[in-house]
A and B are shown apart, each in its own frame.
Chain A
């Protein structure tokens, strides 16, 4: 008797759930180019993201070029005023090949790290 009542309750619950499922049911929405639009938007954004860093580097280089060129010119003018002994001691403190390679490696690692953080 008890199980019959439980079964009836379950049946009525199922019927209500089925009714709600029918009520909430709707026709599948046709794609109509929706997925293509989404993918196109994502591709465009990927390209923009890839171009951002090189474009920023080019713009930064262009902005820094003029003052840097001025600085180099000023330094070359200054070198004629510096005594030869001082130039020789400065030449000995110029970074050696190992230091340059290490610097380049650090720069590359830094760039890759930045890229990873960005992603």
Chain B
């Protein structure tokens, strides 16, 4: 996936409000964005809804993409912001429901995910904070450089490195805990 082709498509989409060019960008990157959000949200249906919102936001903000970093890095920044906003909103929503005494209802509505799709990765991701999870997924699943992750999360490169180090340590420890439990 060449970044010059991405930049060309972005230019076409911005200058002529070309939805076909943007559609091509969506086709090229939807897999990365949806995988990123699936790992972050842990719920496929929610992740796909968020991915759709992410691309809508990306369309609105497309003129702010300067073309300096990779387009997928910029897109994952939009995806991460969309995820955080949705998390904040759902937290507020849960608080309102709780105060109205409807928590039981909400639990009944939680999305159903096939048992075989709950992989080991989800268990390991569960030990990480949202921030650590996002950065680890950007690094190991999406192959972003530390600088690109820094741009996407508004963090200095040094902080990104230390978050990755901490995340690795947590995963390593959870491996050890598992080994002890089974051995």
CB distance from A12 to the nearest CB of B (A): 12
> B120's closest neighbor in chain A, by CB?
A23
> B137's closest neighbor in chain A, by CB?
A24
CB distance from B55 to the nearest CB of A (A): 5
User: A116 an interface residue at 8 Å Cβ cutoff?
Assistant: no
Q: Is the interface of A mostly helix, strand, loop or mixed?
A: helix
Given contacts A35-B26, A38-B56, contact A20 B137 (CB under 8 A): no
Q: Which residues on the B side are within 8 Å of A38 (C-beta)?
A: 23, 26, 30, 52, 55-56
Q: Which residues on the B side are within 8 Å of A37 (C-beta)?
A: 52
* B27:A35 contact, CB within 8 angstroms: yes
Given contacts A42-B22, A46-B19, contact A20 B168 (CB under 8 A): yes
CB distance from B132 to the nearest CB of A (A): 13
Please pick, from B30, B48, B171, the residue contacting A20 in the complex, using a CB distance under 8 A.
Answer: B171
User: B3 an interface residue at 8 Å Cβ cutoff?
Assistant: no
Given contacts A20-B171, A24-B141, A42-B56, contact A29 B19 (CB under 8 A): no
User: B102 an interface residue at 8 Å Cβ cutoff?
Assistant: no
B positions within 8 Å CB-CB of A? 17, 19-20, 22-23, 26-27, 30-31, 34-35, 38-39, 48, 51-52, 55-56, 59, 120-121, 124, 136-137, 140-141, 168, 171-172
26 contacts between A and B (CB under 8 A): A17-B140, A20-B136, A20-B140, A20-B171, A21-B140, A23-B121, A24-B39, A24-B136, A24-B141, A26-B141, A28-B31, A29-B30, A30-B31, A31-B27, A36-B23, A37-B52, A38-B26, A38-B56, A39-B20, A39-B22, A39-B23, A39-B26, A42-B22, A42-B56, A42-B59, A45-B56
